[in-house]
Structure 1
Amino acid sequence: MMTEERWQAIINNDCAYDNQFFYGVKTTGIFCRPSCKSKIPNIENVRIFLDVQQALAEQFRPCKRCKPGEHRLPDEDWVAQMTEYIEKHYSKTLTLETLADICHGSPYHMQRTFKRIKGITPIEYIQETRISKAKQILASSDKTVKEIGFLTGIPNTAHFATLFKKKTGYTPTEYRKLNRKKK
């Protein structure tokens, strides 16, 4: 149960409370020690656990940064967590720093681990996800190229068109025409 004392321990990263309780963040599915230096979560998204086993039983994953109970999230699971976040939030501004904050790791370590597991960098994965979504929208709607760029997280139309052509070999307009002919 969340108390004012526990909340203060979390927001002040108070190591005196480590191993007295752990907290999980519902939106990320990660649990931490009170002393964790990760971004302060919204209080309404926090669950309190008395021990590591309780957090694990509730399907929360250990934080890569503070390693609660010395349990370490396997790299494959950590990358899966990142890709899931990217796929749900591709239309927002995503940076290595944002992903590192959300996934509780350093940007440098996250980048290396992601590339080792997926074969591409997180930024390349974000771009591929955005272009894939753009292709779906182009093939199934009459939205303008500018609108599609905004919907997929690339608000600069020129950059969107250049990136789309680089990744597909076609401009967005050419891709739309090609797909309409196939149908």
Structure 2
Amino acid sequence: METDRTLMTDEKWEAIISNDASYNGEFFYAVKTTGIFCKPSCKSRVPKRDNVRIFQHAEQALAEQFRPCKRCKPTNERLPDHEWIAVVTKYIDKNFNEKLTLEFLAEVSHGSPYHLHRTFKRITGQTPVEYIQGIRIGHAKELLIQTDRATSEIALSVGLQNVPYFITLFKKKTGYTPLEFRRIYEEGARNG
């Protein structure tokens, strides 16, 4: 069996970055970081070459657990919304500490911001921003309990550059400031 390296040629890479429709049906490419595969003509954001895998057939990509792109529909079928949102939440869960905007998430998941926002809310009951905030605050709570790191350091490590905003968001989501949360947890641990 050929490896990804032998399958990826400069010609195929050029077809991907130029969205060359004449290569559709010749090969498919998958992006390891998003778990999505596409036709060469897909107008999605150009991935890093190191993150790309080449497949001769869509079935091979599916067998390797890659999901078809919602934008270019490489299997000529529409990806069910709940599967699309699963791809997005998995991406957020892995990359919560990076700058994540609705536009960026739509780009990496091969959809439009408006459709992503609407579909995400319908499937999960919350907006993408609310989901991201929940993940970030959850990780911040773990860090407050498990480490003695400063609030500012924790804010940065969960992807929030603005410390006052982090403190305000933390209090809105938990009812406590980060320092109050840590103190209450420590008192409970001592008395429990």
- TM bucket, shorter chain: over 0.9
Query: Is 1:87 the equivalent of 2:93?
Result: yes
Query: Is 1:16 the equivalent of 2:22?
Result: yes
1:156 deviation in Å?
1.1
Query: Is 1:107 the equivalent of 2:118?
Result: no
Distance 1:136 1:58 in 2: 33
Partner of 1:133: 139
Could you report, residue by residue, the CA deviation over 1:121-141 in whole angstroms, capped at 9, with x for unpaired residues? 000000011111111111121
Computed over aligned residues only, the root mean square deviation of the Cα atoms, in angstroms, reads: 1.1
**Amino acid in structure 1 at the alignment position of 2:185:** N
Query: Is 1:154 the equivalent of 2:156?
Result: no
Distance 1:45 1:148 in 2: 29
% same residue: 58
* Unaligned stretches of 5+ residues in structure 1: none
Could you report, residue by residue, the CA deviation over 1:29-77 in whole angstroms, capped at 9, with x for unpaired residues? 2110111011111222222222221221222110011111213222111
Distance 2:155 2:40 in 1: 40
Could you report, residue by residue, the CA deviation over 1:1-49 in whole angstroms, capped at 9, with x for unpaired residues? 1222211111110111112211111222211011101111122222222
**Amino acid in structure 2 at the alignment position of 1:157:** V
* Unaligned stretches of 5+ residues in structure 2: 1-6
Pairing 1:3-152 to 2, within 5 Å after superposition? 3-152=9-158
After TM superposition, the score normalised by the length of structure 1 is 0.96
| SS at structure 1 position matched to 2:129 | helix
* 4+ runs deviating over 3 angstroms: none
Distance 2:94 2:9 in 1: 32
| SS at structure 2 position matched to 1:70 | coil
- In the alignment of these two chains, the number of paired residues is 183
- State which drifts further: 122-131 or 2-11: 2-11
